[in-house]
Amino acid sequence: MKVFKRSALALLAAVALAGPAMAAELQLLWYVDGDEQEQKLRGMLDEYTKLHPETTFDLQITPYDGVSEKFRQFAASGIMPDVSLTSSMEPVIRPFLVDWAQVNGPDWINQFVKGWADGAKLGDKVIAAPLDVTAVGIFYNAEAFEKAGVPLPAPGVTWDEVLPVLKQVSEKAGVRFPLVWDVSAHRYLTYQFQYGNHIYSEDAPIQVAMDDASWVTTLKHFVKITEDYMPPGLWSGSSSDKPYDMFVNQQAVAYMSGSWQIGSFNDGAEFKWQAGPTPKGTVSSSNVGGNYLVAFNTSKHLDEATSFVNWMTSPEVQAEYAKTFGLLPANKNAPAVDYSSPDAAAAVKGFQADLENSPRYAATDQAWPEMQAGVWDAVKASVTQVVAGQVTPEEAVASVRKAAEAAIAASQ
């Protein structure tokens, strides 16, 4: 009897101790565009918990711009979440990231869109799991074109051809501005890509591959576009006008942004819009971007964290995630996405085609770990300072080259 009692007590103690250890609450750091997206995300997390009742989530929403800051705090304090969404792996957190080549094998990364998958590699390691890919491209206010009686641009259209058309539509349809363009280095760089310019070599060893004269010419063209077709001062670097707001409020005929806007336009735009065709320069190019999931090797629930990331990046869930948020799946094996709206479906298809038709450097340029904040800042400042008349285009391009070379030197 005594032995039975002792055994029962031991069993109870074991269960009591083992219970909490089996349950895992994963801390997730994520950014979203608004409450609606947060609810959709929570829905997906609940779905995961239904499948894996032992795993629950503590979701921390942070502004996109604040992620880098958070990462530095994590590195300084050594206290990290289990999993985070990010679009770049800051150097300070790289030592703390799970190596997916070890978890899933070296070939696992090959199932993802190549350009974005390359950005997850650090030497022999794979430090992130691609979640979705984005493409930079143009949106048109189709209603304004109809009102003006002007046909929408056809595939293969060039910037030189499309800009007068946008102006014509703006005048005829009474839309305030022909074009708005996100004030971002990433979006501007796409214009340089379209004229064959890029920052770094496509293959290792990394080198600065800028043709300075061509960069200067393209920069001058871009500044002229900002002066003649965009809201005055938009690219001065200090304007408080928001390109997105101007487009959704029908104050601009066209909006140069990217595929991540599809979901928002699909949900909220009160006019007929169309994504693409994105005009080209001397070549067609988008700019490959997107998001990754990273897991931290400091996690107390490493197995649960890696299982969750593997689930999120699996082909079927990728399709569901892409459908829910109006994104392009990063996993090449994802089944065809059934977007509920024909506009969204057409937009996604167009952007996917843009990515496929882009030159390799549209993916490799930002995949290099050297493409740090310093380089992005110099790229953006190169335009804003020329627009503000503070430097010449030649000086601006020289500053981009200097920052790019400094980034290589720093990494070595």
Strands 24-30 and 55-61: parallel
Contact residues for 139 (Cβ-Cβ < 8 A; gap 6+): 247, 254, 255, 257, 261, 265, 273, 274, 275, 276
Angle at 190 between CA 153 and CA 241, to 5 degrees: 80
Segment lying near another protein (by CB under 8 A), choices 109-117, 198-206, 211-219, 370-378: 370-378
CB of 392 to another protein, least distance (A): 12
CB of 367 to another protein, least distance (A): 18
The residue behind tokens 């057409």 is 346
Contact residues for 207 (Cβ-Cβ < 8 A; gap 6+): 200, 201, 408
Here the tokens at position 216 are 């200067």
Our finding on whether 95 is near another protein (CB under 8 A) is yes
Q: What residue type is 382 in one-letter code?
A: S
Our finding on whether 407 is near another protein (CB under 8 A) is yes
User: CA 198 to CA 31: how far, in whole Å?
Assistant: 29
Angle at which helix 302-312 crosses helix 315-325, to 10 degrees, equals 70
Binding to another protein (CB under 8 A) within 371-390 occurs at 372-374, 377, 381, 384-385, 387-390
CB of 387 to another protein, least distance (A): 7
- Does residue 70 contact residue 93 with C-beta atoms inside 8 Å? no
Segment lying near another protein (by CB under 8 A), choices 54-62, 69-77, 131-139, 315-323: 69-77
Our finding on whether 212 is near another protein (CB under 8 A) is no
Size of the site for another protein (CB under 8 A): 33
Our finding on whether 236 is near another protein (CB under 8 A) is yes
Residue among 191, 158, 133, 156 nearest 357 (CA)? 156
Residue 231: CA atoms inside 13 Å, Cβ hemisphere, count?
A: 23
Exactly one of 13, 53, 66, 72 binds another protein (CB under 8 A); which one?
72
Our finding on whether 25 is near another protein (CB under 8 A) is no
Q: For 33, phi and psi rounded to 5 degrees?
A: -100, 85
User: CA 298 to CA 368: how far, in whole Å?
Assistant: 25
CB of 68 to another protein, least distance (A): 8
CB of 340 to another protein, least distance (A): 33
- Does residue 252 contact residue 141 with C-beta atoms inside 8 Å? yes
Binding to another protein (CB under 8 A) within 303-322 occurs at none
| Nearer Cβ to another protein (129/383) | 383
CB of 399 to another protein, least distance (A): 11
| Nearer Cβ to another protein (23/373) | 373
CB of 175 to another protein, least distance (A): 13
Strands 288-295 and 129-141: antiparallel
Our finding on whether 239 is near another protein (CB under 8 A) is yes
CB of 326 to another protein, least distance (A): 27
Our finding on whether 186 is near another protein (CB under 8 A) is no
Our finding on whether 226 is near another protein (CB under 8 A) is no
CB of 267 to another protein, least distance (A): 23
| Nearer Cβ to another protein (110/240) | 240
- Does residue 287 contact residue 189 with C-beta atoms inside 8 Å? yes
Contacting residues toward another protein, per CB under 8 A = 69, 72, 75-76, 91-92, 94-95, 176, 231-233, 236-241, 246, 372-374, 377, 381, 384-385, 387-391, 407, 410
